[in-house]
Amino acid sequence: MTITHAPGEPIQAGAAPARTRAIPAAAAALPLEAPDHERVLVSRGRRSGLTIIVAVHSTRLGQALGGARLWRYASWTDGLADALRLSQAMTMKNAAAGLARGGGKSVVVIPEGAPLDERGIRAAMLDLGDAVESLDGAYMTAEDVGTSAELMAVVAERTAHVCGLPPEQGGVGEPADATAAGVHASILATVEHVFGSRDLAGRHLVISGLGQVGGRLARMLAAGGARLSVTDVADGKRALAEELGADWVDPEDAHLVEADVFVPCGLGGVLTPEVVSALRVRAVVGAANNQLASRDVAGLLTERGIVWAPDFVVNAGGVIYLDVASGPDAVAAELDARTAGIGDTVASVLRAAEEHGTTTLAAAERLARARLEAAV
């Protein structure tokens, strides 16, 4: 591993600064053990002055692929912790999805209280492009929390190692539709595993987070006849709840709602021991990355009889879309089949955990590691 060090609400270009909300400390703690990453780059953007972090966890299966996060953190070390955890999860995600891609992630740290206007965001994206380019193709970036296809076009001014650009600029656009479709397939597979039927009519699901993916997912579930309780930190999302006939709950109370499935679609670290002890559902399936506050939470879920579909399997639709759609001979039918196949993978993981008496986390990691170990 090489480390180089020179001397949030998501904010997108053209948008008014949103309310500041830093990554929770529990979700951003640096690991005590040494990271097993291949490369970690920490630099100070020469244009923006912001800390730019790129973590390449593994290139064993191919070029590392993972999004770029633009977010507010209490300190740059919190951003580093996030990049380390997220890049490691991307290795598992890409391997479990059967992609010839390694795992990586980039984070642009916005200090708490620091203003960032459209010019500053552009400068940060150019700095990110320089950082990605300096890794000589080991890592390809894409949009993630706080960024967009339009911002990836700015990154592309400094490096070719970026995907998910706007269609009008020759790119494949943002992958939110594919991510939501993969989560939907995962929910169907999990509901069938738990209840014996994929029919969502009358099933009660609680969606926490109505962003790009959560909002799309809510529409899919409502169309399938599900009863929805929804929430988001942005109060303006109440309009979607009203449109879908969904019940609105306070964000801090979402995990207390008695329902069939809890669907976390916001930031990571939501499944703490305290939250799991208070859950009143049979299953947890959602789009959020790194949902477990710590590994032992997987065991707590199993002890309570709550089926958890591992996030790095469930939310792989986005990277599948970016990988397949960016290929020279991309076929829509193949992409649809690969995305729908996420549900089959989830079903396999749930069965394996049940058959071997392990957590679903262990079963999913076993699948990913088998593919990593099979790589030449």
Q: Are the C-beta atoms of 104 and 87 separated by less than 8 Å?
A: yes
93 assigned to active site: no
Greatest extent of the chain over all pairs of C-alpha atoms, in Å: 58
- AA letter at 337: A
HSE value, Cβ hemisphere, 13 Å, CA-based, for 126? 11
Cβ atoms within 10 A of the Cβ of 314, count? 33
Pairing of strands 39-44, 68-73: unpaired
Pairing of strands 227-231, 247-248: parallel
Task: Assign 3-state DSSP to the chain and report helix, strand, coil percentages, each to 5.
Answer: 45, 15, 40
Query: Closest Cα to residue 61, out of 98, 101, 94?
Result: 101
Among 57, 69, 72, 105, the one annotated catalytic? 105
> For the chain, where are the E strands, in sequence order?
2-5, 39-44, 51-58, 64-65, 68-73, 102-111, 139-140, 204-208, 227-231, 247-248, 261-264, 283-284, 307-308
- The values of phi and psi at residue 78, to 5°, are -65, -40
Cβ atoms within 10 A of the Cβ of 162, count? 26
Alpha helices in 164-316 (DSSP H): 176-195, 212-223, 238-244, 273-278, 296-303, 311-314
Helix, strand or coil, per DSSP, at residue 158: coil
Active site residues: 105
